[in-house]
Chain A
Amino acid sequence: MPTIVVEVMPKAELLDPQGKAIAGALHRLGHTGFSGVRQGKRFELTVDGPVDDALLAEVRTIAEDMLANTVIEDVVAVHSEELETVTAGETH
């Protein structure tokens, strides 16, 4: 089953309290080699038919309009398992 993957991250300039808490826990566990952690989201949209450019464009729109809130998050990647990785940055 073809799958379109959307990756969303909190905007780099914003505080990510979840990532900060994870970084603190890592440090307490003795994993001291990491200066920071940021936590994002990965969405997997399963497709019944073939993945074409139109469908990828539709998913990019969905990603910007619903899967991410672009006030606080960035869509960092939209790609299909069967196609070459297309990053959000390359498509604009």
Chain B
Amino acid sequence: MRVGVVTFPGSLDDRDAQRAVRLAGGTPVPLWHAAHDLEGVEAIVLPGGFSYGDYLRCGAIAAHSPIMAEVIDAANGGMPVLGICNGFQILVEAHLLPGGLIRNDHGDFICRDQRLRVESASTAWTNGFQQGQEITIPLKNGEGGFLADAETLARLEGEGQVVFRYLDVNPNGSVNDIAGIANAGGNVVGLMPHPEHATEPGFGPDTRDAMRSGIDGLTFFTSVLRQTVLA
């Protein structure tokens, strides 16, 4: 099954996302921001990085790039789309997800292994988790403070669209400790932490068993493979 990973000017984690797809058993398909072609993929990852150097606002210019017309159509048609970090910022700027992301409340860039609780296991990208499962994946951002107006927030909480919540510490001032959200259909998911960096033993977060052995992020990618096989 083919999973597209879009590379924008300034994307950094596109190859990590491709590797994660491969480790999960899928076929990664590199997609280019300037093309109007999804090359027949069945799911899409918008990777982390600093597209357009974070000019204007994080993700704002990438959200208007040519391929986003096709990504938005596909997402509205039910195709699974995952936005990681800068990809999450692109999804909110493209209005595929509600709310906004602002500079971390403490003003610092933060990089740490972050514990999260999976609040929804009924999205395309989390169906392999248990509801309430606690996972650890890396977090690295300067503008990860999620916010939304009261009405939007109530809808996200009420409709089960909060997918991940920060545990132990709120690293950026996100409202309600929200680390990731989904659209109403559950096919579009965005989060600030990086599942693609926790997919291969030896290169992930530390666990109680061994240093760098954490692969909690792999389930994102096995989930979407399972989802598309079932669909």
A contacts, CB < 8 Å to B: 10, 14-15, 17-18, 20-21, 66-67, 69, 71-72
Contact = CB atoms under 8 A, between A and B. Distances in A.
Please classify the interface of chain B as helix (H, G, I), strand (E, B), loop, or mixed, using the class held by over half of its residues: loop
Interface of B: 56-57, 60, 64, 92-93, 98-107, 145, 147-149, 173
Contact of A10 (B102, B105, B106): B102
Interface pairs A-B: 9 shortest CB-CB: A71-B100, A72-B100, A17-B103, A17-B107, A21-B107, A72-B102, A15-B105, A69-B57, A69-B100
B104 A17 contact: yes
Contacts of A20: 107
Contacts of A66: 56, 60, 64
A72 B173 CA distance: 14
Contact of B99 (A15, A21, A71): A71
Given A71-B98, A71-B148, 9 more contacts: A14-B102, A17-B103, A17-B105, A66-B64, A69-B57, A71-B92, A71-B147, A72-B101, A72-B147
Contacts of A15: 102, 105, 145, 173
B64 A17 contact: no
Contacts of A14: 102, 147
Given A71-B92, A71-B148, A18 B56 contact: no
